[in-house]
Structure 1
Amino acid sequence: MEQIKLFFDEILKNTTPERPPWNKEVTLGSSPKWSYIDGCMTMAMLKMYEATGDQAYLNFLDTFIDHYIDEEGNILGFDIAEHNCDNINEGKVLYPLLKATSKEKYEKALRNLYAQLLEQPRTPNGNFWHKEIYPNQIWLDGLYMVQPFYVQYDILFNQGKNQSDIFRQFQNAYQLMRDPKTGLLYHGVDETKTAFWANSDTGCSQNFWTRSHGWYAMALVDTIEFFDETHQEEKRMLIEQLKELLDTLLNFANPKTMMFYQVTDQGAREGNYLETSGTCAIAYALMKGTRLGYLPEPYFEKGAEILQAVVKHKLMKIDGEYVLKDICLVAGLGGMPGHGSYKVRDGSYEYYISEPIVTNDAKGIAPLVFAYAELIQHKE
């Protein structure tokens, strides 16, 4: 699967901090700023450095992140008042960068991001709101954006005192959002059950979005590894949750390709399609979970098989350049119109299949590279 590395290196060669080609909003004219989208790709740079030992990846990462942070740790475009979980994601790479470079501004930036978590509004059961504009809502996406950052900050600066809070946020989300019939997780839940898209009995949205499952599975494997020896029972329970989730998801893989549909349980229903980003995220969770000893070895082989399918079916070379196709641009619940033809973000099947399908977007490239980095480490 060497073509994944060639693809990634090709993208980095054409990247500047001012114009990251994987960020469609910036390429369409928006001003570059700190974002979860770039956070996905900077994490991919880090994972390639960790897997290969190639200093060029770390140097590129440092140059990219340095552009967005001034000497006082102020972050370009970051607004704490948004209380936006997405804005925390890119902060995850600051931990290894701080260790590697000793730049004081990276520690200041970490503290500025953590300041948001200290005042982040919480649902009645104690989970962070997804955003200020989405009161009392938990989205699966948000656990990926925040919890791996939160646990590392906790270990580095807080002596691990908040790991039980992190554990409870996963447990609460899983209990509230898991469908008892399928075992799948709904994309979002409003604990007050008042959002227009929320089920009046459960507060959950009405469909299963594969990338949100991928976000959540990655959140688990990227958080569990940092739990310390004083929280082993909570760690064990999260590992059980990870295995249960992955076992459930594997039941919904397309049997011919081992890939997953945009709307997870709707198979080849008209408009549904095999979606790249969520598929790659699930592959990564399977592979990393095995490497860390949380899952038996056959789970790694499943992940590698899924990754191979993505390379076969979704990574193409067109006019001499690599193209990763069939990536859902974005999906959400309420708050604003959709980007596609179906304008209400109501969590309906019609909504999820209406969002634009794009190529070479960070949300697909990054988990592809995450999984590839796991493959490299496994072979070693």
Structure 2
Amino acid sequence: MNNYKKTIQVLVGLFFVLVAFSSCKEVKKDNQENQSVKELVVSDTLKWSERMMLSEIQRFPKASLLDFRETPKWSYTNGLVLSAASRVYEQTNNQKIYDYIYEYADEMIDSIGTINTYKLSNQNLDMIKSGDVLLYLYSKTNEERFLKAIETLNSQMETQPKTSDGGYWHKKIYPNQMWLDGLYMAEPFHTKYALDFVEDKDKAQKIFDDVVLQFDLIQKHSRDEKSGLLFHGWDESKEQRWANKETGNSQHFWSRGMGWYGMAMVDVLDFLPENHPGRERIITYLNQFAEAITAVQHETGLWYQVLDQGDREGNYLEATGTSMFTYAFAKGVRKGYLDKKYLAVAEKGYQGLLDNLISIEDNGVVNLNKCCGVAGLGGNPYRDGSFEYYMNEIIRSNDPKGTGPFIMASLELNR
């Protein structure tokens, strides 16, 4: 009987040990789950715009090193991402994002307004883009050094070399050439500068006219009448190896080139006065653009690197152009420039990005994959604008020329 009692006592004791062990495991599991939530550096409860912006800050803790740089540089990619950042900040009041923007300007503009690494003599339209950041910060801070730097960038616009009919050369090293990229790099800045800082009405009007002229000329020289798409570059001299000897155009319709152009139109319209006669022309160009771009959208919602050659071997569905088109369509509809049917095109493009090109790290950091790293025309080594050229440029994740427009598209669609 005593042995029976002892056996019962041992079994009861074992039962309580097992219960205690099981409880400890549950507590440990709960603690591990809580720990994994705490380890998220980017919360998955935020909207996509803030998630991507905070992911960019995680990837590039200094905004001067955006675009995978090892040393600080004044460049257009910084201006693109930080312009997107300013819009996220206005929505969220996340101080970390404002500080990120300010620290770039603080690092790159010295006490007397000199822009670090910038050379006016290069006459490079790309360098105007980060001026958008200064316009934003000056409105917040009234720091004189930011105004001085703004004036320097405007002085470049006043002296930029031009084609015979008034189109800005893309860079001094690319004489007689207009690229689609240049309209986004320079015209939103130039228009807002005239609106905010030029008190003489005639001078301001001259700038507005000049801005509209750039769109008129790129339509005249670069638009393909058959498809409605625009060629990446135009060489007035027709001397470049990449240029068609009759038209001066490059060979292909590059996705991001047209993306820059679409964003340029919707952003310039923010600042071009309502009564300016060129305003309706730009809206017409935007509608022609939307029709042409919609016609080459893939069934996934994405767009190809070379827009009209999706069936050609090597071509791929690309993230930066897709993000830009999505932003331009969504904003164009919201502002009333485009028919509401294009909102569905934007939504399809955005869903295509989420389904196919977005990935998320264990720590919550968001990646945008399949970005064309860079593409241009001419230069050294020479870029011939061939199909093979566009296919062989580097493809990488989280290129700022994709993440910036993705953030802006996310804001427009309120996703």
Using the size of structure 1 for normalisation, the TM-score is 0.92
Deviations 1:8-53 (A, max 9, x none): 2132145333763x412x1xx3x21101111111111112123334
1:100-111 equivalent positions in 2, closer than 5 A: 100-111=140-151
Query: Match of 1:340?
Result: none
CA contact (8 A) 1:178 1:184 kept: yes
Query: Match of 2:410?
Result: 372
Distance 1:217 1:118 in 2: 24
Query: Match of 1:144?
Result: 184
Distance 1:245 1:221 in 2: 11
The structural deviation recorded for 1:113 is 0.7
Distance 1:64 1:302 in 2: 35
Query: Match of 1:98?
Result: 138
Q: Which stretch of the first structure deviates more once superposed, 246-255 or 311-320?
A: 311-320
Distance 1:4 1:56 in 2: 14
Deviations 1:252-297 (A, max 9, x none): 0002x11100001000311100000000000000011112111122
Deviations 1:321-345 (A, max 9, x none): 43211000100000122xxxxxx41
> Match for 1:190: what amino acid?
D
CA contact (8 A) 1:136 1:191 kept: yes
Distance 1:11 1:41 in 2: 9
Q: Which stretch of the first structure deviates more once superposed, 141-150 or 294-303?
A: 294-303
Query: Match of 1:244?
Result: 288
Using the size of structure 2 for normalisation, the TM-score is 0.84
The structural deviation recorded for 1:301 is 2.9
1:217-228 equivalent positions in 2, closer than 5 A: 217-228=262-273
> Match for 1:265: what amino acid?
D
The structural deviation recorded for 1:71 is 1.5
Distance 1:370 1:3 in 2: 10
1:1-380 equivalent positions in 2, closer than 5 A: 2-17=47-62, 20=65, 22-24=66-68, 26=69, 29=70, 31-158=71-198, 159=201, 160-161=204-205, 162-231=207-276, 233-255=277-299, 257-320=300-363, 321-337=365-381, 344-376=382-414
Going from structure 1 to structure 2, the CA distance change for 1:32 and 1:151 (only over 3 Å counts) comes to same
Gaps of 5+ in 2: 1-45
Q: Which stretch of the first structure deviates more once superposed, 278-287 or 288-297?
A: 288-297
> Match for 1:357: what amino acid?
I
The structural deviation recorded for 1:318 is 4.1
Distance 2:60 2:332 in 1: 31
Paired residue secondary structure (2:275): helix
Distance 1:83 1:74 in 2: 16
Deviations 1:60-116 (A, max 9, x none): 211222111012111110000110010001111211211111111111110011111
> Match for 2:398: what amino acid?
N
Paired residue secondary structure (2:234): strand
Going from structure 1 to structure 2, the CA distance change for 1:56 and 1:145 (only over 3 Å counts) comes to same
Distance 1:366 1:286 in 2: 16
Distance 2:274 2:298 in 1: 39
The structural deviation recorded for 1:180 is 1.4
Aligned residues: 364
Paired residue secondary structure (1:71): coil
CA contact (8 A) 2:49 2:408 kept: no
Q: Quote the RMSD (CA, aligned, Å).
A: 1.6
CA contact (8 A) 1:260 1:279 kept: yes
> Match for 1:236: what amino acid?
E
Distance 1:184 1:3 in 2: 30
Gaps of 5+ in 1: 338-343
Going from structure 1 to structure 2, the CA distance change for 1:18 and 1:293 (only over 3 Å counts) comes to closer
Distance 1:244 1:54 in 2: 38
Larger Rg: 2
Going from structure 1 to structure 2, the CA distance change for 1:318 and 1:16 (only over 3 Å counts) comes to closer
Paired residue secondary structure (2:303): coil
CA contact (8 A) 2:63 2:78 kept: no
CA contact (8 A) 2:49 2:88 kept: no
The structural deviation recorded for 1:7 is 3.2
Distance 1:319 1:96 in 2: 34
